[in-house]
Chains A and B, each alone.
Chain A
Amino acid sequence: MASLIAILDLKGKPLIQRSYRDDVPAAYIERFLPIILDLEEEGAQVTPCFTREGVNYLHIRHSNLYLLALSKRNSNAAEIILFLHRLVSVLVEYFKELEEESIRDNFVIIYELLDEMMDFGYPQTTESKILQEYITQESYKLEAQVRPPIAVTNAVSWRSEGIRYRKNEVFLDVIESVNLLVNATGNVVRSEILGAVKMKCYLSGMPELRLGLNDKVMFETTGRTARGKAIEMEDVKFHQCVRLSRFENDRTISFIPPDGEFELMSYRLSTPVKPLVWVEAAVEHHKGSRVEYMVKVKAQFKRRSTANNVEIYVPVPDDADTPKFRASTGTVQYAPDKSAFVWKIKQLGGGREFLMRAHFGLPSVRGEHDSMDKRAPITVKFEIPYFTVSGIQVRYLKIVEKSGYQALPWVRYITQNGDDYSLRTALEKGSAPIVPM
């Protein structure tokens, strides 16, 4: 329960605010940034929630903005923080980008949204598709009789009635993101697969859908034997349209989908994964003159698959200069803003292996403060289409609508890097791990 929601710029000035309860005066917004600066000065860490003089400040960052909620009670922190994130995604869907300018240009509609998304501090409708049905950017006249979409309060609050398509189609994307951490000795320290089933639904009426996966637990509970491989999902999360009690009972995924694009489910597997794209770098550091890298990339998946748009980010010292590259495939660029160089390979076939060399100059004098090397890991981006690491498969997607139309489901699989696919760089032999101050 939030008493007040505000969006602030980086100087702590409120760009827009909405008060939902009287117990926290708006003046407290202006105290937010000074408190943060004080905390930073004292060397204390700034956490997303903190309390001062009986007022609780809950905040998130989005690009150059703070989104802040104030409360005086022992409120539900998770709910408020998630609401702020949801507010960001709704505003992004409305304005493409959420920044100072888009807020100033659209304050009227933001007020309307804030009014509709929260009442008396309690989150209400936060589905941007439903909101867009009755809060639009073009001003409308009351003669047109805008009414609250039935969906706002419907048991099926995510889908409106009377949707019609000439061609009924469903697109399923199964996307698996691999998070992986390899330590300097080349061992996988941590790995997980974050999977998501995304849908694009172009279906008429109120269709009932049932999705069948090669879910091991489901096979076990129903006593059926799987043809081929079955996978064990550690944790599954569903869009609110999925009937959770049904899933709990017999692992059936049944739902009435929202219209258009949405994420039906996500799942997690922490089975050990072999690094699909393996990178190793040998670094030769000649203090005060140059640093040389030799990077090897290896595609550790079957030959019939190909990784697209492979990008390998290798960190270099901040003060490196005059880059020279030589690669057996792809292109290499220096990205000084990221203190790294990027090796881009458009297509990397399964089982293939490539090498590249980089050479940088280093200034002969180093400042006191940067004597400590930032030891950022190598990060990798890639996409492997028609392939899932976990082996998940869509067995069927049944679509039943009372009008009895035939609908076509399309399924695509893809495996890509997660937000943390990193390989720690090995230290060169003979040098101390950390440079003395």
Chain B
Amino acid sequence: MSGLRAPPRKGENYELSADLNSEYREKRKDAIKKVIANMTVQKDVSGLFPDVLKNMQTDDLEQKKLVYLYLMNYAKTQPELVILAVNTFVKDTDDPNPLVRALAIRTMGMLRAEKILDYICDPLTKCLRDDNPYVRKTAALCVAKLYDLKPELVIENGFLETLQDMIGDSNPMVVANTVAALSDIHAAAVAAGSSSETFHITSTILNKLLVALNECSEWGRVGILNALSRYETTDEREGEHICERVVPQFQHANGSVVLAAVKVIMIHMRHVKSENLNKQMIRKMAPPLVTLLSNPPEVQWVALRNINLLLQKRPDLLQNEMRVFFCKYNDPLYVKVEKLDIMVRLAGDSNVDALLSELKEYASEVDVDFVRRSIKAIGQTAIKIDAAAERCVNVLLELIGTRVSYVVQEAVVVMKDIFRKYPSTYEGVIPTLCANLDELDEPEAKASLIWIIGEYANKIDNADELLGIFVDTFTEESYPVQLQTLTAVVKLFLQKPDGSQGLVQRVLNTATKDCDSPDVRDRAYIYWRLLSTDPGAAKAVVLAHRPPISLPRTTVSPQLLEELLGEVSSLASVYHKPEETFVGQGRIGIDTVQRKSADLADDRAAAQKALQTVAIGQQAENLLDFADDGADDGQQPSGLAATTMLTSTPAAANLLSGTSSNPLDDLVSIFGNASLSAPSVQPQSAAPLGGFGFSMGGAPSPMPPQTPSVLQAASPPMQQSGQEDLLGLF
């Protein structure tokens, strides 16, 4: 063999080859170590395969491990040679020493060479029944490895049944690994499109798992708890029983055990109707969640992301615990950012003063990003708690007083949102804001200030002068600023026609002639026509009263929230994104869609998801931007709530501030309020639209929401009617 490969006659590998064939044991062992060292630094030593293989039969356990390690790395590249190793492997699985038996079976499963798979079955059968639990626990996982390579072999050899039996093993570690293997196989089978449940957790298995839970190692507990979360029960008493048995795990020192227990409780609590018991569970959950913050920062971050989700579902969870989320000076930025978000979530009348003084403190730290986020948090607090708005505004004014450029700019942006929530309340602040006009160089801050000037044009004496500055530099500004300038000047003209005619003429001229953005140009044309044909209509459109904004309670849709809470501590719950968006090739895999549509039980949920997608699409196109606050059912964040500055979708965020790139939005938003005389028209027009959007989507296959956008269908009554129509379609 080696003759065929004709290794070079000199060089390091040649010398190693000679050493590997040396007659002295020590020399051979040193050579193996050198080979592994080279492998570690990613030098290619695959050519030495036959020489290394010769050293496999040895009494020296360390040497054996090294040779095995080498085999694992290069078996794939030399499949035809691996077969030579099979004999030794099989012999080793009969070794009197359990360490050797386990090592052999573990490594065989990792070789991933098609050719040797047939040889693995007999030793594996033997090892699964070994008297030593160390061998059995290793063999259990080996079944999952084999399933990954060749599922048929596992099924033909009845390994699945063997594993099912092993759940009752006397040794908790074996049980834990068996559960891990079965769950792994189950996940692989589901991903491959299998419809039957490979690992169905019956109530007998449930009881075995509950017993093993208290005895096995920390990592084993995580696996068992994950399996428990998959158990489906509709029986309330059984749900209670599971919760009661799992609650003691909150006291485990390992944070992943705690989070896995939280997950099980969150899932099985759904069936528990007793409000009292629910409250009790939530109360027991709070202290361990807080304690997770004494972990290293990376773990804290995972915990914080999950706490954020839990709070969206149960805002009462950590009611009195806001202080533990105060940022430490040395916290990494990613931890601080999450803490800020949670602090705002926990803000209430009783603790808002403490929160504000903290936020003010953060706003004077060095990290620009953190400072900005802290200022944003002040704005969010103002919008969330009416009673504290004035205090928030005062803090913002103090910050503007520092005249630090980025602080001022962020504060201006935040002030705009406060004006939107509390119209005509804090006009006294406007002069201070305008005084900082020259400091602003960021588009968002400029656009915000211009919006404020336009909105209060009749109360600002020199509004025309201020806006004139921006009209002068119109073509140099970014598009959001241009759009905002345009609208603000028109607002000014409609409120104070005398003296601003020239300005409006100038801005319309520039926008229609010299501007290269179609959005800006089109909006200018619309204004122009409105103004020239019917100034009354123009007034109704441009100066329309807009409903105030509010802070959304959830950042993801309710359905997605439920889904994510069922996956606490997983990557999905950390990213706040459904699994489909990041598993597979990074896009919504076709296989996923097929799998889901195959699942009939999911159809109803799927239909809802699809509806949501449709609704999102419509919202994104601003076609249905009329929000009906009164009819909000409290479950769904209203369309308006979704458009606060919180959202990551700039289009939505800009929508109500009038900075939207879509000139239609002003028109449409007026309909929401002005056409109250014909409210029945909208629901009717909405339903066909929903239907249309849906049929455009093609087959009634569920389309998972592409982004966990907060955007929801505009008004619930409309959505319901749309839903009925759609369900009729099925």
Binding site for B on A (CB under 8 A): 1, 14-16, 19-22, 43, 45-49, 51-54, 56, 58-60, 71-79, 81-85, 107-108, 111-112, 115, 119-120, 122-126, 134, 139-143, 145-148, 152-155, 157, 181, 183-184, 189-190, 192, 194, 234-240, 242-245, 247-248, 263, 265-266, 268, 270, 372, 374-377, 420, 422, 424, 432-434, 436-437
CB distance from B535 to the nearest CB of A (A): 45
* Residues of chain B contacted by A111 (CB below 8 angstroms): 36, 65-66, 69
Q: Which residue from chain B places its CB closest to the CB of A194 in the assembled complex?
A: B294
Verify B296–A240 contact, CB threshold 8 A. Answer: no
Q: B253: CB under 8 A from chain A? A: yes
Which of B141-149, B266-274, B424-432, B619-627 participates in binding chain A? Answer: B141-149
Say yes or no: B99 contacts A122, CB within 8 Å: no
Which of B138, B333, B567 has a CB less than 8 Å from the CB of A119? Answer: B138
Stretch at the interface among B218-226, B518-526, B717-725: B218-226
Question: Chain B, 383-412, contact with A by CB distance < 8 Å: what is the 0/1 string?
Answer: 000000000000000000011110100000
19 additional contacts (CB under 8 A) given A119-B177, A120-B184, A434-B407? A22-B148, A74-B567, A76-B222, A76-B570, A81-B298, A107-B36, A123-B219, A125-B217, A147-B98, A153-B133, A157-B216, A190-B326, A234-B287, A235-B290, A248-B251, A268-B287, A270-B324, A433-B402, A436-B403
Residue from A21, A54, A141 in contact with B583 in the complex, judged by beta carbons closer than 8 Å: A54
A376 adjacent to B575 (CB under 8 Å)? no
Complex: how many Å from CA A181 to CA B329? 10
**A21 and B99 contact, Cβ closer than 8 Å, known pairs A107-B37, A108-B36, A123-B219:** no
Give residues of chain B (111-154) contacting chain A, Cβ–Cβ below 8 Å. Answer: 112, 132-134, 137-138, 141, 144-145, 148
Task: Tell me the bound Cα distance from A345 to B65 in angstroms.
Answer: 54
Whole-angstrom CA separation of A115 from B66 in the bound complex: 11
Quick one: given A155-B171, A189-B358, are A420 and B255 in contact (CB under 8 Å)? Answer: no
**How many residues on B have C-beta within 8 angstroms of the other chain's C-beta atoms?**
110
Whether, in the assembled complex, B354 has its beta carbon less than 8 Å from a beta carbon of chain A, the answer is yes
Cross-interface CB contact of A238 among B109, B252, B297, B366, cutoff 8 Å? B252
Partner among A85, A245, A268 whose Cβ is within 8 Å of the Cβ of B296:
A85
Are A46 and B402 neighbours in the complex by a CB distance under 8 Å? no
Q: Does residue B247 face the partner (Cβ distance < 8 Å to A)?
A: yes
Q: Does B288 contact A (CB under 8 A)?
A: yes
Q: Which of B54-62, B78-86, B413-421, B593-601 interfaces with chain A? A: B54-62
- How many Å lie between the Cα of A236 and that of B132 in the bound state? 35
- Asked if residues B99 and A134 are in contact (CB atoms below 8 Å), the reply is yes
As a 0/1 sequence over residues 268 to 312 of chain B, the CB contacts with chain A under 8 angstroms (1 = contact) are 000000000000000000011011001111110111001000000
Instruction: Show 26 A/B contacts (Cβ-Cβ < 8 Å), sorted by A.
Output: A45-B333, A45-B369, A49-B571, A51-B586, A52-B586, A54-B583, A60-B298, A76-B260, A85-B296, A85-B299, A124-B177, A141-B60, A143-B59, A153-B134, A183-B357, A235-B290, A237-B288, A240-B254, A242-B251, A245-B214, A266-B291, A268-B291, A372-B366, A375-B365, A434-B404, A437-B404
Q: In the complex, A73→B337 CA distance in Å?
A: 26
| Interface status of B352 (Cβ within 8 A of chain A) | no
Interface residues of B (CB under 8 A from A): 33, 36-37, 40, 42, 59-62, 65-66, 69, 72, 97-100, 102, 106, 109-110, 112, 132-134, 137-138, 141, 144-145, 148, 171-174, 177, 180, 184, 187, 214-219, 222-223, 226, 245, 247-249, 251-256, 259-260, 287-288, 290-291, 294-299, 301-303, 306, 323-324, 326, 328-330, 333-334, 337, 354, 357-358, 361, 364-366, 369, 402-405, 407, 567, 569-575, 579, 582-586
Q: Give Cα distance in the complex from A181 to B180, angstroms.
A: 43
Q: How far is the CB of B177 from chain A (nearest CB, A)?
A: 7
Find A436's partner among B144, B402, B572 (CB 8 Å cutoff): B402
**Is the CB–CB distance between A139 and B60 below 8 Å?**
yes
> Please, how many angstroms separate the alpha-carbon atoms of A120 and B182 in the complex?
13
* CB-defined contacts of A143 to chain B, threshold 8 Å: 59
Inter-chain contacts of A147 with B (CB < 8 A)? 97-99
Partner of B248, one of A16, A20, A53, A245: A245
